[in-house]
Homo-oligomer: A and B are copies of this chain.
Amino acid sequence: MKAVEIPFAPSLADRMQRGDLFTEKCPSREILKHVTSRWGVLLLVALLSGTQRFSDLRRKVNGISEKMLAQTLQWLESDGFVERISYPVVPPHVEYTLTQSGTEIAKKVEALADWIELNLPEIIAAQIQKSEQ
Protein backbone atom coordinates (compact mmCIF):
# COMPACT_ATOMS: atom_id res chain seq x y z
CA MET A 1 0.00 0.00 0.00
CA LYS A 2 1.56 3.23 -1.17
CA ALA A 3 1.51 6.12 1.26
CA VAL A 4 -0.86 8.94 0.47
CA GLU A 5 1.05 11.99 -0.68
CA ILE A 6 0.69 15.34 0.95
CA PRO A 7 -2.19 17.07 -0.78
CA PHE A 8 -1.36 20.55 -1.99
CA ALA A 9 -4.23 22.93 -1.52
CA PRO A 10 -4.97 25.09 -4.55
CA SER A 11 -5.94 28.62 -3.73
CA LEU A 12 -9.54 29.61 -4.18
CA ALA A 13 -8.41 32.14 -6.77
CA ASP A 14 -6.81 29.43 -8.85
CA ARG A 15 -9.90 27.35 -8.60
CA MET A 16 -12.11 30.21 -9.74
CA GLN A 17 -10.20 30.85 -12.93
CA ARG A 18 -10.98 27.40 -14.26
CA GLY A 19 -8.88 25.36 -12.07
CA ASP A 20 -5.60 23.77 -11.45
CA LEU A 21 -6.54 20.93 -13.76
CA PHE A 22 -4.24 22.38 -16.38
CA THR A 23 -1.37 22.30 -13.94
CA GLU A 24 0.97 19.35 -13.91
CA LYS A 25 0.92 17.16 -10.81
CA CYS A 26 -2.51 18.43 -9.89
CA PRO A 27 -4.08 15.79 -7.62
CA SER A 28 -7.30 15.96 -9.63
CA ARG A 29 -5.55 14.43 -12.58
CA GLU A 30 -4.89 11.28 -10.62
CA ILE A 31 -8.52 10.86 -9.63
CA LEU A 32 -9.54 11.65 -13.18
CA LYS A 33 -7.22 8.93 -14.37
CA HIS A 34 -8.91 6.30 -12.24
CA VAL A 35 -12.39 7.44 -13.16
CA THR A 36 -11.81 7.84 -16.88
CA SER A 37 -9.62 4.80 -17.23
CA ARG A 38 -10.66 2.19 -19.72
CA TRP A 39 -12.30 0.01 -17.09
CA GLY A 40 -13.09 2.66 -14.51
CA VAL A 41 -15.76 4.17 -16.71
CA LEU A 42 -17.46 0.86 -17.33
CA LEU A 43 -17.31 -0.26 -13.72
CA LEU A 44 -18.82 2.95 -12.40
CA VAL A 45 -21.68 2.72 -14.84
CA ALA A 46 -22.15 -0.96 -14.10
CA LEU A 47 -22.31 -0.30 -10.39
CA LEU A 48 -25.10 2.21 -10.86
CA SER A 49 -27.36 -0.82 -11.16
CA GLY A 50 -26.69 -1.56 -7.53
CA THR A 51 -24.53 -3.76 -5.34
CA GLN A 52 -22.76 -6.50 -7.21
CA ARG A 53 -20.31 -9.27 -6.61
CA PHE A 54 -16.87 -9.61 -8.14
CA SER A 55 -17.98 -12.27 -10.58
CA ASP A 56 -21.11 -10.33 -11.48
CA LEU A 57 -18.97 -7.42 -12.54
CA ARG A 58 -16.61 -9.70 -14.39
CA ARG A 59 -19.48 -11.05 -16.44
CA LYS A 60 -21.16 -7.72 -16.98
CA VAL A 61 -18.14 -5.78 -18.09
CA ASN A 62 -17.27 -7.78 -21.14
CA GLY A 63 -13.59 -8.21 -21.85
CA ILE A 64 -12.15 -7.20 -18.48
CA SER A 65 -9.52 -9.44 -16.96
CA GLU A 66 -9.55 -10.47 -13.31
CA LYS A 67 -6.41 -8.53 -12.72
CA MET A 68 -7.77 -5.26 -14.07
CA LEU A 69 -11.10 -5.78 -12.34
CA ALA A 70 -9.42 -6.17 -8.99
CA GLN A 71 -7.02 -3.32 -9.58
CA THR A 72 -9.60 -0.86 -10.83
CA LEU A 73 -11.93 -1.69 -7.96
CA GLN A 74 -9.05 -0.95 -5.60
CA TRP A 75 -8.45 2.43 -7.19
CA LEU A 76 -12.10 3.32 -6.91
CA GLU A 77 -12.22 2.07 -3.34
CA SER A 78 -9.17 4.10 -2.35
CA ASP A 79 -10.80 7.20 -3.83
CA GLY A 80 -13.88 6.53 -1.71
CA PHE A 81 -16.15 5.84 -4.66
CA VAL A 82 -16.73 2.17 -3.97
CA GLU A 83 -17.32 0.29 -0.77
CA ARG A 84 -16.06 -3.27 -0.53
CA ILE A 85 -17.86 -5.66 1.78
CA SER A 86 -16.36 -9.08 2.35
CA TYR A 87 -18.33 -11.85 4.04
CA PRO A 88 -16.18 -14.36 5.91
CA VAL A 89 -17.61 -17.47 4.33
CA VAL A 90 -16.31 -20.16 2.07
CA PRO A 91 -16.42 -19.88 -0.78
CA PRO A 92 -15.64 -16.16 -0.48
CA HIS A 93 -18.42 -13.67 -1.01
CA VAL A 94 -17.51 -10.04 -1.70
CA GLU A 95 -19.84 -7.24 -2.64
CA TYR A 96 -19.13 -3.90 -4.20
CA THR A 97 -21.35 -0.87 -3.83
CA LEU A 98 -21.11 2.74 -4.91
CA THR A 99 -20.73 5.17 -2.04
CA GLN A 100 -22.57 8.47 -1.99
CA SER A 101 -19.80 10.31 -3.80
CA GLY A 102 -19.28 7.31 -6.05
CA THR A 103 -22.88 7.50 -7.16
CA GLU A 104 -22.54 11.18 -7.91
CA ILE A 105 -19.46 10.80 -10.05
CA ALA A 106 -20.81 7.68 -11.72
CA LYS A 107 -23.77 9.68 -12.93
CA LYS A 108 -21.46 12.20 -14.54
CA VAL A 109 -19.59 9.41 -16.23
CA GLU A 110 -22.80 7.78 -17.32
CA ALA A 111 -23.99 11.05 -18.85
CA LEU A 112 -20.85 11.14 -20.92
CA ALA A 113 -21.15 7.51 -22.00
CA ASP A 114 -24.82 7.90 -22.82
CA TRP A 115 -24.14 10.93 -24.94
CA ILE A 116 -21.63 9.00 -26.99
CA GLU A 117 -23.91 6.02 -27.48
CA LEU A 118 -26.75 8.28 -28.48
CA ASN A 119 -24.68 10.28 -30.95
CA LEU A 120 -22.65 7.39 -32.25
CA PRO A 121 -24.40 7.31 -35.63
CA GLU A 122 -23.53 10.92 -36.37
CA ILE A 123 -19.98 10.46 -35.17
CA ILE A 124 -19.44 7.46 -37.41
CA ALA A 125 -21.04 9.32 -40.29
CA ALA A 126 -18.65 12.22 -39.79
CA GLN A 127 -15.69 9.85 -39.78
CA ILE A 128 -16.79 8.26 -43.04
CA GLN A 129 -17.29 11.61 -44.68
CA LYS A 130 -13.79 12.67 -43.71
CA SER A 131 -12.24 9.48 -45.03
CA GLU A 132 -13.98 9.89 -48.36
CA GLN A 133 -13.14 13.47 -49.10
Residues of chain A at the chain B interface (Cβ within 8 Å): 1, 3-4, 7, 15, 18-24, 27-29, 31-33, 35-38, 41-42, 45-46, 49, 60-63, 78-80, 101, 104-105, 108-109, 111-117, 119-124, 126-128, 130-131
Given A4-B131, A22-B62, A130-B78, verify A123-B109 contact (CB < 8 Å): no
Given A62-B22, A123-B79, A124-B27, verify A32-B101 contact (CB < 8 Å): no
Query: Would you mind naming 28 contact pairs between A and B with Cβ atoms under 8 Å apart?
Result: A1-B131, A4-B131, A7-B121, A7-B124, A20-B117, A21-B42, A21-B113, A21-B117, A22-B60, A22-B62, A27-B120, A28-B117, A31-B116, A31-B120, A32-B41, A32-B116, A33-B38, A36-B36, A36-B37, A36-B41, A36-B112, A78-B127, A79-B123, A80-B123, A101-B119, A101-B122, A108-B108, A108-B111
